[in-house]
Amino acid sequence: MTRPIARWRIVVDRLGEMEPDETISHHELLALLGLDEDDLYKLYGVMPKARRELWEQLGRSIAAIPGVGYRIVRAQEHLKQGARYEQTAKRRVNDALAVVSATHLDELTDAEREFALKVMTGYSMLERAMESNARRTAEHDDLIASLRQSNNDLSQRVDRLEAMTDKTST
């Protein structure tokens, strides 16, 4: 007996045939999976795994188009998409730290309190690491911009020197 193909695999195979900026509707994906329009929640359940597999196997990503379907993201958009995921992660870590910090420690057993304090410390360290990474990234961006400007300035100077050399040699 053959094993049925996982829904996420069917979706990844179809998305892998598509080009950047190409879209696919919910309707088409539902039909591909043999699902009814009422089964949209099942499609939504498949998409996180399909998205991860698309990243790992094909180096592609998708963007949801609310009420329509999905679009294959252009390579130039991957960094922006990653930055949005990073912002979401920061908010979630902040929320995790806030909810754990709001714990009434006096209502916990000694073991639970010790564990809660370790968790708070871990979230706090993660939050600081993310902030530090964001600062370093911003510093690198500034340095890269400065280097590009210096490179442009040097290129212009070389062009002027070459033009002067051409004038004096004629």
Same domain, 26 and 59: yes
Structure tokens that stand for 72 in this block: 């294959």
DSSP one-letter string for the chain: -PPPPPHHHHHHHHHHTPPTT-EEEHHHHHHHTT--GGGHHHHHHHHHHHHHHIIIIIS--EEEETTTEEEEPPGGGHHHHHHHHHHHHHHHHHHHHHHHHTS-GGGS-HHHHHHHHHHHHHHHHHHHHHHHHHHHHHHHHHHHHHHHHHHHHHHHHHHHHHHHHHHHH-
Same domain, 95 and 46: no
Return the pLDDT at 159: 87
In a domain, 18, yes or no: yes
Same domain, 55 and 69: yes
Last residue of a domain, one of 50, 73, 96: 73
- Tell me the HSE value of 160 on the side-chain side, using a 13 A CA sphere: 6
In a domain, 156, yes or no: no
Same domain, 85 and 119: yes
Same domain, 80 and 127: yes
Domain that holds residue 22: 7-73
Same domain, 97 and 56: no
In the predicted model, what is the mean pLDDT of the chain? 91
Return the pLDDT at 170: 66
Q: For residues 28-42, give the mean pLDDT.
A: 95
Helix axes of 7-16 and 40-53: crossing angle, nearest 10 degrees: 60
Q: Is the pLDDT of residue 134 over 70?
A: yes
CA distances from 79 to 49, 73, 126, 132 (A): 20, 11, 22, 19
Q: Distance (Å, rounded) from C-alpha 52 to C-alpha 61?
A: 8
Q: For residues 55-65, give the mean pLDDT.
A: 95
Same domain, 34 and 57: yes
What band does 3 get if pLDDT is binned at 50, 70 and 90? confident
Same domain, 92 and 123: yes
Same domain, 56 and 91: no
Q: For residues 16-29, give the mean pLDDT.
A: 96
> Is the model more confident about 161 or about 43?
43
Q: Distance (Å, rounded) from C-alpha 85 to C-alpha 81?
A: 6
In a domain, 30, yes or no: yes
Count of structural domains, the chain: 2
